[in-house]
Amino acid sequence: MASTNTATHPEPGKVVEKAAQPPEMRAPAEKPVSGLFGLGDVVLRFLLFASSLVAVILLVTSKQAKLIPIPIPPYLIPRTAKFTQAPALIYYIAAVSIAGFYGIITTFVSLYALLKPGRYPRVVSNFVIFDVLLLGIVAAAVGAAGAMGYTALKGNSHVQWTKICNRYDYFCRHISASISVSLFGSIVLTLLILLSIYSLSKRIPKQTY
């Protein structure tokens, strides 16, 4: 009987160790985010900034002046084509400029978060929201600019809109190159969203049943 009481009631002052919990009862350890994801995020955000910068430069330098024939003297008058004459291109350059500014800011923030892995998940969870919003803005701007560029290249016979790229070839080449580069930026934003979602999903603990 004495041995039984000693086993069930420990002596006063003696520290009793807690029984170790079985593995299935322990809280799952936080999975570290791979540095490869963070490095890819930094590279993609820098590519977003670079592509946006190139797209803006191409659009701003698209101005072209030409002598246009008219049926009355002096028979030739100077006319200039520039992006500020089209509201779609104004919206386009505003959206791409925002994307470039966002890209350079988030590049430094992502690089800082990469050096401090504990803050990386919170940073990525905030980034993915703004990435989705910015992708919608840039995609809409690229679509509007592309529609205007197609009209300038082909015209529209139904409403008597004449094409202008046969005269303002330099202007049209810069517009098309700018749209192509910004389309690459849209693809980069899509990859950023997928990368962020995947890296966050890797941190979700797997349930054991």
Tens-digit pLDDT profile for residues 174-201? 999 999 999 999 999 999 999 888 877 7
Domain enclosing residue 149, as ranges: 33-201
What's the rounded Cα separation, in Å, for the pair 131 and 94?
A: 17
8 Å CB contact between 191 and 45: no
Position 55 in a domain: yes
Region 48-55 average pLDDT? 96
Position 120 in a domain: yes
pLDDT in tens, 149-158: 898 888 888 8
Position 6 in a domain: no
Position 15 in a domain: no
Region 30-58 average pLDDT? 83
What values do phi and psi take at 162, rounded to 5?
Answer: -85, 150
DSSP type of residue 71? S
Question: What are 155's two structure tokens?
Answer: 């015209």
Residue 5 pLDDT > 90: no
Give residues with Cβ within 8 angstroms of 36, minimum separation 6: none
What's the rounded Cα separation, in Å, for the pair 197 and 124?
A: 9
Position 25 in a domain: no
Residue 142 has a CB neighbour count (10 Å cut-off) of 21
Position 9 in a domain: no
The total of structural domains in the chain comes to 1
pLDDT in tens, 58-109: 999 998 888 888 777 777 888 888 999 889 999 999 999 999 999 999 999 8
Give the Å distances, CA to CA, from 118 to 106, 139, 200.
Answer: 17, 33, 13
Position 40 in a domain: yes
- Inter-axis angle of helices 87-115 and 120-154, nearest 10: 160
| Beta pairing partners, 67 | 78
Position 27 in a domain: no
8 Å CB contact between 148 and 185: no
pTM for the whole thing? 0.76
